[in-house]
Structure 1
Amino acid sequence: MQAPHDILRRMNKLTPNTNQICEPWVSVDPLGEALHFLHMNGVMYTRSEFTAPWGLALPPFPNRLMFHVIMSGRCWLKVEGAEAQLLQPGDFALVPHGEGHELLSEPSVSAIKLFDLPRELVSERYEILRHGQGGAETSMICSTVRFDHPAAHQLLRLLPKFIYIESWRTPHWEWIQSTLRLMAAEARELQPGGETVITRLADILVIQAIRAWIAQDPVAQTGWLGALQDQQIGYAILLIQREPARPWTVALLADEVGMSRSAFAARFKELVGEPPMQYVARWRMNTALTWLKEGDWPLGELADRLGYQSEAAFSRAFKRFIGISPGMARRATA
């Protein structure tokens, strides 16, 4: 067993297979690094203006996350399999699995399908929706987004059906309210760069919502999330995610975190739910899938970057974990 200072020394050394030095102030917080990868892509925003009575049925958006920020008024959120939730000004609701759900002025109101309502398209990614029968007003920002990084996918799969943040009960109430006011102002008067501002503000709100859930829900202390918060197993996961091409073995990972091979393998499987080398292979393939979506990488180069000796070996592993060939994955995103 190695002393803690030996582990710290390893954290700050030259990272293998790169030319970058891990400076002492670079985060070695695995959970924080997972949250770091929650950068939104493919964002679509809707400024919704409702007058009671009204009801909106949103369809499922596979592989998307949806959120709603209440600017004024109130509404009910209904997600199948969960209790209806009242949302009021300043509240933030996150539906992380892209499930269909309803927003209603009252729980008894019938909902109209989103795509049956007229919408004003302001830009390619921004629209305005007005609906209702002239009663009490409710204003909100609604959004669908996707996350492409495999660490984001791993995290989002563990989240509940929806996350609700009642802003005035959080210790961060003031800055959350300031963020919401700025987002509302940008939504009302969309200026050059306004979509980018809204996206960055939404990044902050989504991460804060997930942080709040992790801090409050005992479920977040188990499984992969629990493993990230374990000093040694969490650091091993961080190493795998930072250096997927490194020729990892169970013995090498155990040595990096100062554990015996057998103790490391048993603890990793207990916390993560699969053996270390299966996790390594799965992470590599999810990384490859992200790279296939982002660029026109030759398969041979992808295989080399992920530590495979041949394109054929890489393709077999990719199909085993992803379910389709690399070529099919590339064509699906074209």
Structure 2
Amino acid sequence: MEATREQDRDRLARVLHTLRMRSTFYCHAELTSPWALEMPAIADSVSFHVVTAGTCWLQLPDEKPLELRAGDLVLVPHGLGHLLLSEPDATPSQRVDLLPQQYLSEHYSLLRHGGGGSTAQLICGIVSFDEPAARLLMRSLPSLLFVNGSSVSAAASIHDTLRLMASELGHPQPGGEAVATRLADILVVQAIRGWLGTAEDATRGWLGALQDDRIGRAIEAIHDDPGHAWTLERLARVAAMSRSSFSAQFTRLVGESPIAYLTRWRMHVAHSRLRNEDTTAARLAAELGYQSEAAFNRAFTRIIGHTPGSIRRQRGR
């Protein structure tokens, strides 16, 4: 049983690794109370905030503020706008991207702001995605993901990553931003894995399906080789289940049938490659298991909402 749980965790780690997160901006903030910052909504992104000294509060729309202490890490997965506050009732808020700050590079700034009182220091980041498939993961997460810095589970790996990130961003040097970008990816993965180990609702939806020994194997097989000539029978064989039991269990956990999921994943892969590579619909159709370019184009347009040609033209701009 313990070996099975370890395999499930490894499977999740491998899936997260394929989701190519891209860190787009960092800010090292030195704030003195009173202060109130508005973090604008940014679609298809995850914001993270790490308190390295002092305390502050984070508030999502229509929710109660959450106190953050030194060592705490919080993720806002759905690109939601939110507030960071020195106290729960601090006003008025100011958009952080409109405040004067020292830009140490195109993707990293130092912000000093506030009224001169008690000090809080934060490292904030925005992580976006090169692959639309990452949205499958993000949709499975809660609106706020909090990692308590004093918890035993956070004390080792996350704290080590935070120290490395603070060092890289605090002492800029050649290659430091690239290192910090990879560390941000690691932080997001660590936070998600920490949440999976403690949250009661982490066994639902897509993430829950990954942790199911049999259904998880089938999902991983699709991710590893989306162009394979998968059928319901072949996927059921990977899961070591009958076709009817596999189809019912997969649909219950994932929310769509195995073949619908396969098609959607293929289109996510195709979308990513059209955006990031010099490729064609005809080539992708052949590589992703379609007998004709026309069939591939119909599936792509139905799921993505745009034609493959329009995505290629956007890349060429």
TM-score (norm 1): 0.87
Q: How does 1:178-193 map to 2 (within 5 A)?
A: 178-193=160-175
Corresponding residue for residue 47 of structure 1: 28
Shift of 1:29: 4.2
Segment drifting more, 71-80 vs 146-155: 146-155
Answer whether contact 2:77 2:143 (CA < 8 A) is retained: yes
Distance 1:227 1:178 in 2: 30
Answer whether contact 2:34 2:114 (CA < 8 A) is retained: yes
Partner of 1:199, secondary structure, is helix
Offset from partner CA, 1:154-174 (integer Å, 9 cap, x none): 111111111111111133414
Distance 1:255 1:91 in 2: 44
Corresponding residue for residue 286 of structure 1: 268
Q: How does 1:79-228 map to 2 (within 5 A)?
A: 79-110=60-91, 111-228=93-210
Q: How does 1:12-91 map to 2 (within 5 A)?
A: 29-91=10-72
Amino acid at match of 2:29: S
Distance 1:153 1:143 in 2: 18
Corresponding residue for residue 304 of structure 2: 322
Answer whether contact 1:37 1:149 (CA < 8 A) is retained: no
Distance 1:270 1:245 in 2: 24
Corresponding residue for residue 266 of structure 1: 248
Corresponding residue for residue 5 of structure 1: none
Offset from partner CA, 1:123-163 (integer Å, 9 cap, x none): 11111222111111111111111123355321111111111
Distance 1:330 1:170 in 2: 48
% identity of equivalent residues: 47
Amino acid at match of 1:58: M
Corresponding residue for residue 4 of structure 1: none
Distance 1:264 1:175 in 2: 36
Distance 2:54 2:84 in 1: 13
Shift of 1:185: 2.2
Distance 2:277 2:232 in 1: 31
Instruction: Name stretches of at least 5 consecutive residues in structure 2 with no aligned partner.
Output: 1-6
Task: Name the Cα RMSD after superposition.
Answer: 1.9
Give 1:248's match in structure 2, choosing from 230, 235, 242. Answer: 230
Amino acid at match of 2:60: V
C-alpha distance 277-174 of structure 1, shift in aligned 2 (>3 A): closer
TM-score (norm 2): 0.92
Distance 1:213 1:82 in 2: 20
- Counting matched residue pairs gives 309
Answer whether contact 2:48 2:124 (CA < 8 A) is retained: yes
Distance 1:139 1:322 in 2: 41
